[in-house]
Amino acid sequence: MTRLNDGNALSFDGSGLSIAIVCARFNDHIGKELLAGAYRGLERCQVARDHIDEVWVPGAFEVPLAAATLARSGKYDAVITLGAVIRGETAHFDFVAGECARGIQTAQIDTGVPIMFGVLTVDSNQQALDRSGPGVDNKGDEAAVGAVEMALLVNGINDSVEF
Ligand code: INI
């Protein structure tokens, strides 16, 4: 039996990894805080600043296409997606949040590149603020650490498979 990773690890060495971040501009007062959290998480994981690329898109609905394009480029070990879909009075929330989540999952399955779902889908602005603060429970920070963990896992599996 070979265990390919440590299932209990809480910190990861991301030095040498290249990471892309996609951030939605809609509700960017939240997006900017998630982005700051993502950079803090990547820094703790020792991902070099010059190995991080950042792109912005109009809203969460556009995130999957940008994430898939970045993943398909072959330049990145993982992609982090960030944004905030805040429930309003219309059904628009359900379409935007649902399609964003579905598109991100489809993109990571199709490309084989980990794509982290750091897009908040919440009922209120307060819930979004609560999830984008300065602590390690900031969802951008969590997505960043998850991106490093998944990149190491997927790279490790790919490297261990003999074709
Ligand atoms: N985009 C978001 O990122 N968050 C939202 O809360 C949101 N709402 O509520 O409408 C939102 N809509 C814009 C959408 O993502 C697209 O940019 C737009 O529909 C153009 O395709």
| Three-state secondary-structure class, residue 154 | helix
Pocket of ligand 1 (CB under 6 A): 24, 26-27, 58-62, 83-86, 88, 92-93, 96
pLDDT at position 162, please?
61
Residue nearest atom 7 of ligand 1, based on CA coordinates:
85
pLDDT grade, residue 163 (50/70/90)?
Answer: low
pTM equals 0.96
C-alpha–C-alpha distance, residues 122 and 52, integer Å: 27
Q: What does the DSSP 8-state code read for residue 49?
A: G
Longest pairwise C-alpha distance within the chain: 53
Which amino acid, residue 73? Answer: S
Residue nearest atom 19 of ligand 1, based on CA coordinates:
61
Residue 14 confidence (pLDDT) above 80: yes
C-alpha–C-alpha distance, residues 146 and 85, integer Å: 21
**Active-site residue flag, 92:** yes
pLDDT grade, residue 91 (50/70/90)?
Answer: confident
> What is the CB-side half-sphere exposure of residue 153 using CA atoms within 13 A?
15
* C-alpha radius of gyration, the chain, whole number: 16
pLDDT at position 3, please?
76
What number does the ligand 1 atom closest to the CA of 96 have? 15
Domains, in order of start, for the chain:
17-156 (3.40.50.960)
- Helix or strand holding residue 98 (H, E): helix 92-111
What number does the ligand 1 atom closest to the CA of 24 have? 3
C-alpha–C-alpha distance, residues 133 and 126, integer Å: 11
CA of 116 to the centre of ligand 1 (A): 19
